[in-house]
Amino acid sequence: MDLSVLGEAWKIWFIAAIIFFIIEGSSLGTFSLFFGGVGASITSAICFVSPLFASSGVFQVLTFSGATLLSLYLLRPILVRLTQNDAKFSGSDFYVGKQARTLTVLSKNNFDGRVFYEGTEWPAMLSEEHHENIPADSAVEIVKMEGLTLHVKPRKT
């Protein structure tokens, strides 16, 4: 192995951490890549401090994996509590009555509809009591949430 690459291991892990954090920051509502960023940051710091550690790719991968899993185990409950500290967010009733915007045409037999709500694209379908198509780029009201699918009706203006 080229020795010049070994001295750069901490930089590679640091860049990986930045990439994990950027991707995580651009995706709403998840923490999945945040923990990879924590693991890559810890691995980068250890590689920076210990050239002996930086010379072993196996130790680096094991450290990254262990730090990622440990941060997932220790930090996830804290982050979930901080971001969802209000009980009203835990149920689907929170979404009822909120306004969204259709991204696709919604029709009675179409189960591939999409709406845009609070910065995120959601699967959607017409509510059971509504039978007319709703064109794309229309304001709708959320009637209920079933799984991750929002059931909507046209919003009264």
**Boundary (domain end) residue, out of 40, 61, 85:** 85
14 and 81 fall within a common domain: yes
In this structure, are 100 and 41 located in the same domain? no
Q: According to the model, what pLDDT value does residue 1 have?
A: 43
Question: Do residues 40 and 93 share a domain?
Answer: no
Which residues lie below 8 Å from residue 111, measured CB to CB, with a gap of 6+? Answer: 125
Residue 133 dihedral angles phi and psi, to the nearest 5°: -60, 150
79-96: pLDDT as tens digits: 767 766 544 444 567 788
pLDDT tens digits, 131-146: 788 888 989 998 988 8
Indicate the helix (H) or strand (E) that contains 69: helix 57-83
Residue 74 domain boundaries: 3-85
20: exposed, middle or buried (Cβ count in 10 Å: 0-12, 13-18, 19+): buried
Q: Where are the extended beta strands (E) located within 45-119?
A: 99-102, 113-117
Q: Are 40 and 20 in contact (CB under 8 A)?
A: yes
- At 8, the amino acid letter reads E
Below-70 pLDDT ranges, the chain: 1-7, 27-32, 80, 83-92, 157
So what's the pLDDT on residue 14?
Answer: 93
pLDDT at 7: 64
What are 123's strand-pairing partners?
A: 114
Domain count, the chain: 2
Q: Which of 67, 85, 103 is the last residue of a domain?
A: 85
Cα separation, 94 vs 140, in Å, equals 16
CATH assignment at residue 113: 2.40.50.140
Q: 78 and 95 share a domain?
A: no
* pLDDT score, position 3: 42
- Assess whether 18 and 73 both reside in one domain: yes
**Which of 85, 102, 131 marks a domain boundary?**
85
